[in-house]
Amino acid sequence: MSYFLLFAGYLTASVLFQFPELYAPVAGAIPLMWWTSVFGKAAVLGTMITLIGSRLKTLSLSWKEAGWGKVEPLRELAWAGVCALIVWGISFFLLPDDANRGAVEKAEILKANASGKIMLFLSSCLLTGMLEELIYRGALRAFICGRRENDRRADAIFVAVSAIVFASFHWLSSPIFYVVYAGMGAVLATVLVASGSLRAVMLAHILVNTAHLLGLGNYIRWRLGIG
């Protein structure tokens, strides 16, 4: 039911996009493309959870195999912090900060009010982090490793496949981007294997995206007088 409500919201936003005079009084300073983006990603996330859950059930696996075990807040926060620092560090030293934000910073949403910036965070950071980790890490690990606990060969295959797939969907304009994103994907996958927590890597991904959105890399370069 929740998925259908999200999808209905996505369709409604798409229809309103054709009639700005209708949505303007409601949307305020928030461009409709971001309403559509948030509803769209939430709908895709709901769809992926439904499909992966169905597949896990078919394979007689539980969500625990995908990284949804017992909640351990302090442990998961520690893993998320370490993972986010490493992944962001890779991008900071090997990629220009603009490469990570690119079109996001150019969006009209940054000229919007506080509500608009919240929509941007939901779309570019929160939902993107959850969705990508569910697909590139959670689903792949469940299907590749299954119930084979402490199987180093399966874990190694998972890390490699996850890195390759993640990089393939983030290729920008140069082979260096592929290598860097493969490295970032490998770190996220390795942390999932080590921690057993999909929540930890999701939070790490959200933190990294938020740092890029806020331009943390450019700020540090400016403070250090480099770049």
Q: For residue range 124-176, what is the model confidence (pLDDT) as tens digits? A: 889 889 999 998 999 899 888 876 667 889 999 999 999 999 998 876 667 88
Quick one: which of 121, 141, 120 has its CA closest to 195? 141
Spell out a b/e string for 218-227, using b for 16 or more CB atoms within 10 Å of the CB, else e.
beeeeeeeee
Domain boundaries, the chain: 64-224
The whole-number average pLDDT for the span 86-91 is 92
The whole-number average pLDDT for the span 57-68 is 85
pLDDT at site 34: 64
pLDDT bin (cut points 50, 70, 90) of residue 221 is: confident
Q: Range with the lowest mean pLDDT among 98-102, 109-113, 151-155? A: 98-102
Calculate the average pLDDT of the chain.
79
pLDDT at site 32: 59
Q: Is the pLDDT of residue 205 over 80?
A: yes
